[in-house]
Amino acid sequence: MKFAKILLSAGAALTLAACSPKSDTPAAASEAQADSSAAVKLLNVSYDVARDFYKEYNPLFIKEYQAKHDGTGISIQQSHGGSSKQALSVANGLAADVVTMNQTSDIELLEKKGLVKADWQQRLPDNAIPFTSTTVFLVRKGNPKQIQDWSDLAKDGVQIVLANPKTTGNGRYAFLGAYGYGLKANNGDETQAQNFAAALLKNAPTFENGGRAATTTFTQRNIGDVLITFENEANFVSKHLTKDQFDIVYPSYTVVSQSPVAVVDSVVEKKGTQAAAEEYLSYLWSEPAQELAAKLYLRPKNNDVLAKHQADFPNIETFDPNEKFGTWEEIMKTFFADGGLVDQLSNKK
């Protein structure tokens, strides 16, 4: 079991305070970067904990774009919130040039609506997934509840903080990680896995409306014994906070989370931004962007970059949710739709 120490800083309190649960509500457009009078304007609609990556990626891309296009101005705006809420916002008219989500079902929704073309995964490398993460635990310094694996999260007296599995990718990966562990620990016995997942959910008194909201609740409101979240989000806390208040626990078996990206074809065709939007996403596979991903504890697809940063990414046993549970359409129907397994196992209807 890998056990990595994290530091907490006073300065980060301000950073996370600015990322209160309200900030997870989808916005028409926020966090503008570059001159608003720029010739090219793009809106990237993304999930909540991706804001730290794109805050640094956008200036990197702008510099590259202007160098290639004789100084042509380009402005990039960000909108962040729970992944599925963001996808619904785009489906309902938010004019995103690109979407950068944390599960393929959110982009498939836009494909079904006719906003994204069916070949979106073939238009970029790695099935349009530039980097991945995984689900880990953030605990308080010294790990007072001695949490070492998923099984400890179902014990009496442990209070869990996690994003809503019904509406957020962060929460869904957390639930799938727990359920996958339950299946493995019980030799594939569905009933035992469900009993384990139900016990774990009972230890989560509320569901937060996004991954960043869950982080704020745990780190700033000082609620809970353990935060279940993405590896990169747990390390964001370690990077920005200093008083040695938290530890990261890597479970023995956990789920791989993916970050698919796509051009919103219906929008860029109307705006005339197709080429710029495609360049924006393609640059995610450049070495500078992959280095940035690794710096922010996202696992890059570039194997050479990953090898350089291997010390930051413990080797752990993981599973692909699609290989274990089927397509995202099947996963959503089985686990997260109204009346699905999460509703059946949770006391929060």
Domain boundaries, the chain: 23-131+259-311, 133-257+314-345
The answer to whether residue 6 scores a pLDDT higher than 90 is no
Q: Which pLDDT value is given to residue 162?
A: 94
Residue 3: pLDDT band (50, 70, 90) is very low
CB 27 within 8 A of CB 262: no
Q: Tens of pLDDT along 302-321?
A: 999 999 999 999 999 999 99
The distance of Cα 172 from the centroid of its chain, to the nearest Å, equals: 10
Instruction: Report which listed range, 4-8, 163-167, 236-240, is most confident.
Output: 163-167
Q: Tens of pLDDT along 106-133?
A: 999 999 999 999 999 999 999 999 999 9
- Whether 133-257+314-345 and 23-131+259-311 are alike in CATH topology: the answer is yes
CB 291 within 8 A of CB 56: no
**Three-state secondary structure call for residue 21:** helix
Number of residues in the chain:
349
Phi, psi of 101 (to 5 degrees): -110, -175
Residue 242: pLDDT band (50, 70, 90) is low
- Top-tier CATH class for 23-131+259-311: alpha beta
Residue 239: pLDDT band (50, 70, 90) is low
d(CA 339, CA 349): 9
* Dihedral over Cα of 160, 1, 290, 176: its sign: negative
According to CATH, the superfamily of the domain at 133-257+314-345 is Periplasmic binding protein-like II (3.40.190.10)
Burial environment of residue 77 by CB neighbours within 10 A (0 to 12, 13 to 18, 19 or more): buried
